[in-house]
Amino acid sequence: MSQKTGILYIVGIGPGHEDHMTPAALKAISEADIVIGYITYIKLIRHLISEDKKIVAAGMTEEIERARSAVEESQKGKKVAVISSGDAGVYGMAGLIFEVLREMEWKKGDSPEIKILPGITAINSCASLVGAPLVHDACTISLSDQLTPWPAIEKKIEAAASADFVIGLYNPKSGRRTEQIVIAQKIIGKYRKSNTPVALIKSAYRKRENIIISDLENFLDNAIEMLTTVIIGNSNTFIYEGYMVTPRGYTNKYTWDGEAIKGQKRGVPLKLNEQGKPVGV
């Protein structure tokens, strides 16, 4: 191994528009000797990468090769930026890179030095385009069964639906894989009303951005693709003037003048009646 310590930047570029990419991410890309990423993501930031850099644009399902080459090049002393859209730690390259490092018996202090730069993840950039659907407890579930057993995915959908999480579905559908989103709808429908708000967001903050607000009964009537993010509201989510909103719960306790409702008190747990509902509402 070279004596020179390389740096491996693991970079989340956010939704893909510069306005929503952090200064730290931009700086890492500008400092790197080599920029590695899935070809679609490389294209999104191509104009930010100067001519002197080496670019490795890899296809889908080539993640292992991409992670290995990133580790190997940076180990030799290069500065390498591996980019993922959104946050590299959310269904992104960060996990695989650590798995490769472990496989290679890399130790802390060895080359490369690891620097992880967070980015705005898809669920958050998508939510910002439709209102405020994530203001209460939420989860993300990928419907892709390429690497995860389908029964484990189904179990997650059932649990999330039954406990009233706002649900973000990633990779809802692909050319060959069309049934999973139908099953998801059925499972969630056991626990939530048919008029539960559902948002479909494609290519957030990109050229082909497309946003649809629908509901649990009807959302499958719309085009859904691999890169569509589906956000399904909880039992309190509502639509107002085209915005999808999940309340945090302030009206359980306060009037619009900011005073505590009779029977409730600022700074203490929400008081419940015998039916388990907030007192005074």
Site for a second copy in 205-234 (CB under 8 A): none
Site for a second copy in 120-179 (CB under 8 A): 120-121, 124-125, 127-129, 131-142, 145-152, 155-156, 158-160, 162-165, 176-177
Residue from 81, 82, 94, 198 in contact with a second copy (CB under 8 A) = 94
Our CB check for a second copy shows the closer of 61 and 221 to be 61
Q: Is residue 256 near a second copy by the rule CB under 8 A?
A: yes
Our CB check for a second copy shows the closer of 180 and 228 to be 180
Looking at 35-43, 46-54, 216-224, 250-258, which segment touches a second copy (CB under 8 A)? 250-258
Residue from 29, 70, 100, 184 in contact with a second copy (CB under 8 A) = 100
In contact, 117 and 25? CB cutoff 8 Å = yes
In contact, 278 and 264? CB cutoff 8 Å = yes
Q: Is residue 62 near a second copy by the rule CB under 8 A?
A: yes
Our CB check for a second copy shows the closer of 221 and 241 to be 241
Q: Is residue 2 near a second copy by the rule CB under 8 A?
A: no
CA gap 239, 233 in Å, rounded: 10
Q: Is residue 72 near a second copy by the rule CB under 8 A?
A: no
Our CB check for a second copy shows the closer of 125 and 185 to be 125
CA gap 135, 54 in Å, rounded: 41
Cα 143–chain centre separation: 13
DSSP for the chain reads --SSPPEEEEEE-BTS-GGGS-HHHHHHHHH-SEEEEEHHHHHHHGGGS-TTSEEEEE-TT-HHHHHHHHHHHHHTT-EEEEEESB-TTSSSHHHHHHHHHHHTT--BTBSSEEEEE----HHHHHHHHHEETTSS-EEEEE---SSS-HHHHHHHHHHHHHTT-EEEEES---SS--SHHHHHHHHHHTTS-TT-EEEEEESTTSTT-EEEEEETTTGGGS---TTEEEEE--TT-EEETTEEE---SGGGTB-TTSPBPTT--TTSPPPB-TTSSBTT-
Q: How far is the CB of 55 from a second copy (least distance, A)?
A: 20
Q: Is residue 278 near a second copy by the rule CB under 8 A?
A: yes
Our CB check for a second copy shows the closer of 65 and 223 to be 65
Output the six-digit token pair for 133: 């659907």
Q: Is residue 1 near a second copy by the rule CB under 8 A?
A: no
Our CB check for a second copy shows the closer of 221 and 273 to be 273
Residue from 3, 51, 52, 107 in contact with a second copy (CB under 8 A) = 107
Q: Is residue 92 near a second copy by the rule CB under 8 A?
A: yes
Site for a second copy in 27-56 (CB under 8 A): 27
Residue from 5, 18, 113, 280 in contact with a second copy (CB under 8 A) = 18
Q: How far is the CB of 222 from a second copy (least distance, A)?
A: 21
CA gap 69, 46 in Å, rounded: 20
Our CB check for a second copy shows the closer of 11 and 200 to be 11
Residue from 68, 72, 215, 225 in contact with a second copy (CB under 8 A) = 68
